Amino acid sequence: MADTDNMDKFKELPEEKQAAILTAALKSFAKHGYRKASMNDIAMAAHISKALLFHYFGTKKDLYAYLIEHCKRVILGGIDFDRIFAVDDFFERLRLGTELKIARLKKYPYVFQFAVSALSETDEEVKNEKNRLMWENDKNFLNALQPKHTAQFKKGVDISLVVRIISLVADGYAATAMSDENLDFDGLFDELNRIYDFFKKHLYKEGEEA
């Protein structure tokens, strides 16, 4: 685990220097995956020595774990959850959450690229790290639901399974979007809206899908 004092020294760097290091790391892991990403290449891209990069973060795994937490802070930090949780319709709540999240990702595209890469990462050394990124948002969403939010569903529908399926499908569309250099966020949002409409039509009680 990275030394806390050294991590504090990283956080004391000027914001533009921190951003340069984090962007270099996000880009490298997103492009090459955990195993093939090079600490030397990251250091060169950030214009610091490799020794200093290790000094700040301890190990490659610690750097990767830090990026996971950084992504969560960036993606969730600018989202108005009170606004989302004020929406009673389940799928409209999902739709609004997606819209706000994509707005954040448009602002921080390298975070998006890293997050998608992390969700498809297969290296055993960091599989627990990617699971933290994948599950926490779903869990928070489900914990905020009340009976009035799920009353429209047909009897027997497993809401947690619905959220899980949608998350997996969204990850797949996100991975496809990442393969495009232009990162078509609007296209991604349109596809997810169609998915929400499909589930809403087929899972809501008769007459409650509108």
Evaluate if residue 178 carries a pLDDT over 80.
no
Comparing 142-151, 154-163, 195-204, which segment has the lowest mean pLDDT? 142-151
Domain extent listing, the chain: 4-70, 82-203
Prediction pTM value: 0.77
pLDDT at position 156 is 92
> Which of residues 18 and 2 earns the better pLDDT score?
18
CATH topology of domain 4-70: Arc Repressor Mutant, subunit A (1.10.10)
How far apart CA 53 and CA 163 sit, in angstroms, is: 38
Residues 6+ apart with CB under 8 A from 115: 71, 75, 133, 174
One-character DSSP codes across 61-79? HHHHHHHHHHHHHHHHHT-
Neighbours of 193 (CB within 10 A): 15
